[in-house]
Amino acid sequence: MVRGFAAYLRSLDPAAEVIPAGQFRPGTCRATPYLYSDAEISALLQAAAALRPALRAATYQTLISLLAVSGIRIGEAIGLDDADFDAGRELLVIRNAKYGKHRLVPLHPSTARALTRYAELRRQAHPRPASPALFVSTAGTRLLHSNIGLTFTRLAGQAGLTRRSASCRPRVHDLRHSFAVNTVLSWYRDGADIAALMPRLSTYLGHTDPQHTFWYLSAAPELMALAGQRLEAHLAGGS
């Protein structure tokens, strides 16, 4: 818009300067998701196991594992209270998430057992907790987003994870991207109806519209290849 107005001024006054093309970045610049392999997640968990004291190691191992297998946002994990984990029904209650929404997140039985073990360890370390948070620091307080980011960056370095490009580096938020991509990959391999299932994934992730979920999937070459193969098969069948 600025360049267009400058060009208009120049038509009236040849001395007016037109801003060079490319001076402004077009649109929003989003980081390229770092899609974690199973081996990379295992390496992160192994690095977290070396943290001290034992409660801190357990906190980060359990937190990273939960993010990897549930796809919840890091802010949602930090905001979980102990009462938001229903071990009997194997689910989490996400309250006041993005856009102020609430939702239930069903958990695999193994995930529920892991959270139960962590909660017991946390109770042993802090019989009278200073916070109702599910995940706590060594002082018994709720975790801070900034501290998690710093710790995760160190763990990624110790696990041998490096940048893949200028805009693609290991981030804790990308565990959510990896969950979404792996979910759709499993659907493709099972021959499922992706279009019918996408609203379910959007609901599970807490998105207000399935189109927001597609951004999570656009950076996965393997997923794009499977989509291309399905399209080719459809076209071949139609011919």
Give the active site residues.
Answer: 73, 98, 173, 176, 207, 216
What distance in Å separates the CA atoms of residue 211 and residue 227, rounded to the nearest whole number?
16
> Which residue, among 117, 90, 120, has the nearest Cα to 104 in the 3D structure?
90
SS3 state at 210: helix
CA atoms within 13 A on the CB side of 163: 5
**Torsion over CA: 61, 64, 67, 69 (sign):** negative
> For 92, which DSSP code?
E
Question: CB within 8 A of 150, min separation 6: which ones?
Answer: none
Q: Quote the tokens at residue 123.
A: 């109770």
Query: How many angstroms separate the Cα of 187 from the Cα of each of 45, 105, 182?
Result: 26, 19, 9
> Which residue, among 172, 198, 174, has the nearest Cα to 184 in the 3D structure?
198
Question: CB within 8 A of 35, min separation 6: which ones?
Answer: 174, 177, 178, 181, 219, 220
